[in-house]
Amino acid sequence: MKNDELGMRSGGRRYVITFLSVLLSTGVYAESIDADLEGFDDSAGSATMTSSVASTEEQSNDDMAGFDDDSAGSETETLATEENNVSESAQSLFGFTGKLTEQIAYSFNGTSPHDKFTSLKSSFFLDYEHKFDNGWRFKSNAKAYYDAIYDIRNNTYSRDELDEQRSEIRLYDAYVEGSISDNIDLKLGRQVVVWGRSDTIRITDILNPLDNRRPGIVDIEDLRLPVTIAKLDFFIGDWRITPIAVLEQFFTINPAFGSAFNPQIDPHIAEKNYHDVSYALSIGGEFSGWDVNFYAARVRDDMGYVQFLPQAKFVHEKVNMFGAAFNVLSGSWLFKTELAYFNGLKYTSAQDRSFSRTDALIGIEYNGIADTMISYDFSLRHFNNYDRRLGNELFLPHKSTYQQALRITSDFMNATLHANYLISLYGSKFDEGGFQRAWIKYNISDDLDVNVGIIDYIGGSKLFNNIKNSDMIFADISYSF
């Protein structure tokens, strides 16, 4: 991405979010004194795990509870936040639970028609689960939404934006799972399989596409889209071997052409459809205080490229990926690393060769302050056989690109108020754009909660300069049943 000066107009917006983050930090410090530093002993590391670890469905009994592939750190179900917010006390009707949400967004610095009120969305989430007497389980959920802003306002939106963002009905999870024998489990159907542990940066996490139509608004765990997968888990001592067959091929949904996050005119390029099978393998081991996972996959490249002849369409070639993830827990600290090597990458049909790339991440999470988690991730993506054409034709001007993310979450008022701050920046000098987001969620009752936040897009590259004026305030209220 090209370096540009940060716009002066974004400075004031960042002061607002920086003030929110300082206020959050002040509250965190006050609660840490009341806790009398109780989070600094060794037991805190086992009792107070990261937010992703704490959300696991089944935790092991050792210090690495929640670090297995079925945990939120290595396999979460789509819309995990929406499911977790469904009240535990709510009585399901014949196995059904759900949530109704009203959301509003206001862009205070955008240009018409993407200024002022940019979203007035009503959504309905419905989940069904049935457990059989033999221990097997069937689960399915779906979501429908309608954004009235596209009909209320008299502005002209692009056809692609109207088609992509005005309304949608989508099936998410739909799978059956259970044990074939004492050491073999099967999970078959539309599902999410998460590799690696970072909550913000994807390195080894390649098996599921994302819904990225409004980038930065929500976290990755709520963006993953399930695909139809057949997955077996073989348990051998402390190890698990997981062969995977991806039976359904579709790719990340990017911002609609003509929208605030993609101002280009729709080039009317079709997406090539695929009906083949791709394969992956995970081998992981869990031990006292640490775990390790090895990955291999031959899957279709999510990014793809445009093939112009005989007619223009997006093509997704198959690529090879080999990776690993290693995590160590020490007291209140979690250290994590991820490494992935890709070959067979292509970026245009005019290229006479393919490329290889090495991606790496190091990260740390700290839980030593009561009811608070602080994490920092740093990643590097390096082209091993860089060609200047990548910069001239495809706006990939650097042999290596960098990204880092700092996240702070803290709970107050008996865990009914959740304060969060996230900043993600690109570039070795943090000068190639990014975003920062601050939001507060309050549980009014067991069935009702409200969420309010602000997001600031930071210029510094061609991509982020195009969207740096799309900053917005957003709020939603949800009723779970």
CB 146 within 8 A of CB 165: no
Distance CA 104, CA 118 (A): 8
User: Could you tell me the strand order of the sheet in which 305-307 lies?
Assistant: 270-271, 313-315, 305-307
Confidence of residue 48 (pLDDT cuts 50, 70, 90): very low
CB atoms within 10 A of CB 285: 15
Nearest by Cα to 147 from 268, 259, 269: 259
pLDDT at 40 exceeding the cut of 90: no
How high is the pLDDT of residue 393?
Answer: 56
Extract the tokens encoding 467: 């969207």
Superfamily for the 9-480 domain: Porin (2.40.160.10)
pLDDT bracket for residue 39 (50, 70, 90): very low
The mean per-residue pLDDT over the stretch 339-344 comes to 96
What is the per-residue pLDDT for 53?
35
pLDDT tens readout for residues 369-403: 999 999 999 999 999 988 776 766 566 778 899 99
Domain boundaries, the chain: 9-480
Residue pair 252/212 in contact by the 8 Å Cβ criterion: yes
**What pLDDT shows up at residue 92?**
59
Per-residue pLDDT, averaged over 175-181, amounts to 97
Distance, CA of 469 to CA of 350 (rounded, Å): 35
pLDDT at 75: 44
pLDDT of 41 above 70? no
Predicted local confidence at residue 83, as pLDDT: 52
